[in-house]
Structure 1
Amino acid sequence: MNINKNQHRKRQTLGRGLSALFGEASAGEPKPNKEKGHQLVPIEDIMPGPGQPRRFFEKNDLDSLAESIRQKGILQPLLLRRSAERQGMFEIVAGERRWRAAQLAQVHEVPAMIDDYSDIEIVEIGLIENIQRADLSPIEEAEAFVKLIESHDYTQEQVAKAVGKSRSHIANTLRLLLLPEAVKAKIEANELSAGHARALLASQNPEKLAEVVLREGLSVRATEKLAKASPNSLTQKGKGRNSGPRAHEKILDPDMRVVQNQLEEVLGLKVMLKVNGEQGEMIIKYETLEEFEYVYKKLRN
């Protein structure tokens, strides 16, 4: 009976999204000394949850959030559950960044919503929160997808529905885990974008190509072309800056290259910008009808 009840509550809660959760949490004033519900919790009684997908927190971002907390407080409550292993402690379901910043701001209590979240709910909510805020690196996102698939028997289609992404996005993100560790480290350090990372998958020597990309400042499109070229092209690329796939990049100025890369990041698909003065074209390439439907819905919304 408890399993069915939890499953029913999960469908109701996650089906409405995080905004519904936080909306319910923010109604009324904090009510302390309750087992569940909205209340103030001492910051020392909180610890990171085991299912959190995010591992890296930028110091500048935390400092900025800490200053905001000093000025305005924590506007959105943390989601917590009671720890089964440490009595009197709470595990973070969502809001670890706010918790860390609150410590920097020397806040002693934080607003929180406490409930009996299951392990699978923790993974789902953590994923959804971070994806909605674009807080996860592509590698962290891929590892969280794997956790849903391997530990909780999700299909890729179920993962896509749970996090509001296309099936092709899930598949492409999972493929990033096939890259060498050195390349994945560069992705997690934000030296390489997700678009660059997907392009590297087509290369026979992704680690060497990654070095060329960083040295030459290649766009995603240039990286894709070079990845499909012969291995000797990597050596030639290091010798001649104006030959091969790099030549077409002169069409775009640096600012437009950044825009093109950002569009590819958002859509998870290949994007080509062609600029001629104040006019131009934007080409979005898709390979399946599912990808077309995904782009159509994005543009319509």
Structure 2
Amino acid sequence: MANPLIDPKRRALGKGLESLLPARKPVEAPAPVAAEPTGQPLEIPLDKIDRNPFQTRTTFNEEKLAELAESIKASGVVQPIVVREGEKFKEDGRYTLITGERRLLASRKAGKTTIPSIVREVSNVQAMEMTIVENLQRADLNPIEQAHAFSRLAREFHMTQEQMAERTGKDRASVSNFLRLLKLPESVQVLVSAGELTFGHARALLALPDAEAIEQAARKVTALHLSVRSTENLVQNLLNPENRKVEAKPAVAPDPNVKDAEDQLRRSLGLKVTIEDKKGKGKVIIEYSGVDDFDAILTALRK
């Protein structure tokens, strides 16, 4: 039964005020933001993002990093970085970087506190693949860094060279050639990393029989600033010192077409190749020093 002491108009007015001014809920402490993997950027605090454990690049150009920091100060981060939730995200709310380390470092230099980020749900294998592919596409890795990247895929995730080639967009022979660079002596790898020797120089030197010979030849190449072609000739002279004596004797000059084919095969395979031709008949001799070299030969022949 309605209470006669309560004015119906007053009751209606009170209801209207309640609907216009709803009671406030108690303020709760903010919990870690779990970003939905929708592909939409989210501003994430820089101090909540950990470095990518699968990063294959070991050096960054400080001058270019400073230039990027100035650009970020002026225009912000144009392209979001990619992150994933850390292993203890529910406890600490931390993220792990996947791609975009230069943007992350430059943002810190620029004094930013947050950075636009896209959160992805990916496995360790996928995160490592994304890191390697990004760096390979940007051509920021030196040949030795690329070699170590492929080596990690093989060692830690048991990928075959065919699988690595498919995932990174490289052909099988290229993957094999990068991995072969790790057979170089450490001192020569340092020269390749520093840019004093190119990938082509390194491939030519690998034809030499042992570490000492490779190191000696590498010192000569850098001292004389030899081209890749000159380095190939140097290596061939070291492998076949008797050829120089034969050249002093009167002899029939080799067919330039055969010689050119021999040089092309040697550059393509990175192995010692000899063509013995007699009036259009003969044999092609390809020397290899391991299973990887043999696989590279088979791959080239299947093309």
* Alignment TM class, shorter chain as reference: 0.5 to 0.7
Q: How does 1:159-198 map to 2 (within 5 A)?
A: 159-198=164-203
Give the distance between the partners of 1:71 and 1:293, measured in 2 at CA: 53
Residue 54 (structure 1) aligned with residue 62 (structure 2): no
Find out whether 1:220 has 2:223 as its counterpart: no
The 5 Å alignment of 1:11-160 reads: 33-37=33-37, 38-85=41-88, 87-160=92-165
CA contact (8 A) 1:120 1:152 kept: yes
Stretch moving more, 222-231 or 110-119: 222-231
8 Å CA contact retained: 1:166, 1:291: no
Partners of 1:147 and 1:292 in 2: how far apart? 27
Q: Amino acid of the residue matched to residue 46 of structure 1?
A: I
Map 1:239-254 onto structure 2 (within 5 A).
none
Flag the 1:292–1:61 CA change in 2: closer, same or farther, 3 A. farther
> Runs of 5+ in structure 1 lacking a partner?
1-31, 234-266, 271-286, 295-301
Deviation for aligned residue 1:53: 1.3
Structure-1 separation of matches of 2:240 and 2:297? 32
Shift in alpha-carbon separation, 1:110–1:173, aligned structure 2, 3 A: same
CA distance in structure 2 between the aligned counterparts of 1:293 and 1:85, rounded to whole angstroms: 48
Map of 2:214 onto structure 1: 206
Aligned partners of 1:77, 1:106: CA distance in 2, in Å?
17
Give the aligned partner of residue 237 of structure 1: none
Distance 1:203 1:165, change over 3 A: same
TM-score between the two structures when normalised by the length of structure 1: 0.65
Question: Percent of pairs identical after alignment?
Answer: 38
- 2:122 maps to a residue whose letter is Y
Query: What's the secondary structure of 2:117's corresponding residue?
Result: strand
| Alpha-carbon distance in structure 1 between the residues aligned to 2:87 and 2:33 | 19
Distance 1:115 1:201, change over 3 A: same
Q: 1:67 to 1:153 in 2, by over 3 A?
A: same
**Which amino acid is 1:166 matched to?**
D
Moved more, 131-140 or 53-62: 53-62
Q: Do 2:269 and 2:297's aligned partners in 1 also have CA atoms closer than 8 Å?
A: no
Q: Which runs of 5+ in 2 are unaligned?
A: 1-31, 242-266, 271-295
**Cα distance in 1 for residues equivalent to 2:162 and 2:187:** 30
Deviation readout 1:43-80 (Å, 9 max, x if unpaired): 11112121111111121221222222223221111111
Preserved contact between residue 169 and residue 268 of structure 1 (Cα < 8 Å): no
Secondary structure in 2 matching 1:132: helix
Work out the number of aligned pairs and report it: 215
Per the TM alignment, residue 292 of structure 1 is displaced from its structure 2 partner at its CA by 9.3
In 2: Cα distance, 1:147 partner to 1:207 partner: 25
Q: Deviations along 1:178-235, whole A, 9 cap, x unmatched?
A: 00111111211222211111112112411122211111111111112212222798xx
| Residues in 2 aligned to 1:85 and 1:206: alpha-carbon distance in whole angstroms | 47
Q: TM-score with structure 2 length normalisation? A: 0.64
Alpha-carbon deviation of 1:113?
Answer: 0.7
Q: Which structure has the bigger radius of gyration? A: 2
Instruction: Provide, for residues 87-132 of structure 1, a one-character-per-residue CA deviation record: whole Å limited to 9, x for no partner.
Output: 2221111111111111122222111111222100111000100000
Q: Which letter does structure 1 place at the counterpart of 2:117?
A: A
Code of the residue aligned with 2:214 in structure 1: it is: P
- Tell me the distance in 1 between the aligned counterparts of 2:36 and 2:57: 25
Q: Is the 8 A contact 2:129 2:168 kept in 1?
A: yes
Q: Secondary structure at the match of 1:62?
A: helix
